[in-house]
Structure 1
């Protein structure tokens, strides 16, 4: 017997179908509770794209882990909210990590104290060289972020890339550049 899930389907029937792996139940659960998950994510993250990403990750995670759901411990919407809160925390941590990497990169290339103009030029050349070693898409993203001072969303719009791809390019590129610059700056100068 095929069960059709709608807005009027009772929660226990929808939950049973979800746990049993009925994709129509997943669709019904998403339809019913994604606005709740999205609202919680948006309030915490204050970013539409991140809230959308958290909503998607929450339902993917729930679907993949549906065998761990226990109806005697929580209702399905409460379980989904718990997954969403963990995903939101992960997003906040990823943001903090990215900010730390960006700050470390800026700190590693900022001229400190009484350095000469030659050092400033040398640092700029080193950074330009590091950028040139990146993949073409990553180069465009980094240049738009640092030289044109565009936000992640503006870069995504300009290049026609998904926001998550832009963020990944920036995160990976900053990490690679920072690692290579640390090695370069750690080498003794003649």
Structure 2
């Protein structure tokens, strides 16, 4: 497989007309053999369905596009896990789509919670429709983040900019979950105190 999979190709590619005549099972078999043309055939056949499902669930075109990309990357990476005896290939693709939509909704909830926590703890104010990234950028602008102890800074950067939960941070850093939570709490408190002191000057 090449380093990057291109899901959209010009319509005049030689295999494009052949794709229309392929049965779902043939696409699945070709994928299993590692044929990228079959990945593109799958995208042409089910891409619109995947995007529609994602958009209906998320209500955001950009997120729906992201989910669609994630679904077909997951189809490619997990192609060996498809078992025709367990159901149709299209159903397998839809199952992956539902999982990716659920992941996107979970991430959205976590970002919303993080924004609320940052606003409450750091005293930040922003319009209700401000995106999480914009709010968190305000934290970065407050250069106080760079002055935190290394461990506290590491935890907050992973939370703010990598959108990781405490459990995920513990996995990435190898630190106990309690230690991660402690660094997060202390780091946020230090930021709050330092920002309050700066505003008082």
Return the TM-score normalized by structure 2. 0.58
SS across alignment from 1:21:
coil
Alignment deviations for residues 126-146 of structure 1 (CA, whole Å, 9 cap, x no partner):
x978524399xxxxxxxxxxx
Within the alignment, does 1:182 sit opposite 2:189 as a pair? Answer: yes
- Pairing 1:105–2:112 present: no
Deviations 1:60-113 (A, max 9, x none): 0110011111011021111111111111100000000000010011111349xx
Work out the CA distance in 2 between the residues paired with 1:62 and 1:173.
24
1:44 is matched with: 57
Contact 1:37 1:55 in 2 (8 A): yes
CA distance in 2, matches of 1:174, 1:76: 32
Structure 1, unaligned stretches of length 5 or more? 112-126, 136-167
* 2:71 corresponds to: 58
Q: Name the SS of the counterpart of 2:21 in structure 1.
A: coil
| Counterpart Cα distance in 1 of 2:191 and 2:43 | 50
TM-score by length of 1: 0.61
User: Quick check: 2:55–2:63 contact (8 Å CA) kept in 1?
Assistant: yes
Question: What are the within-5 Å matches in structure 2 for residues 105-124 of structure 1?
Answer: 105-110=118-123
Query: CA separation in 2, counterparts of 1:7 and 1:41?
Result: 24
- Name structure 2 gaps, 5 residues minimum: 1-13, 125-136, 146-156, 165-182
User: Which residue does 2:47 correspond to in 1?
Assistant: 34
Q: Which residue of structure 1 aligns with residue 143 of structure 2?
A: 133
The answer to which of 14-23 and 30-39 deviates more is 14-23
Give structure 1 regions of 4+ aligned residues with deviation exceeding 6 angstroms: 173-179
The equivalent of 1:172 in structure 2 is: 161
Root mean square deviation, CA, Å: 3.7
Say yes or no: does 1:17 pair with 2:22. Answer: no
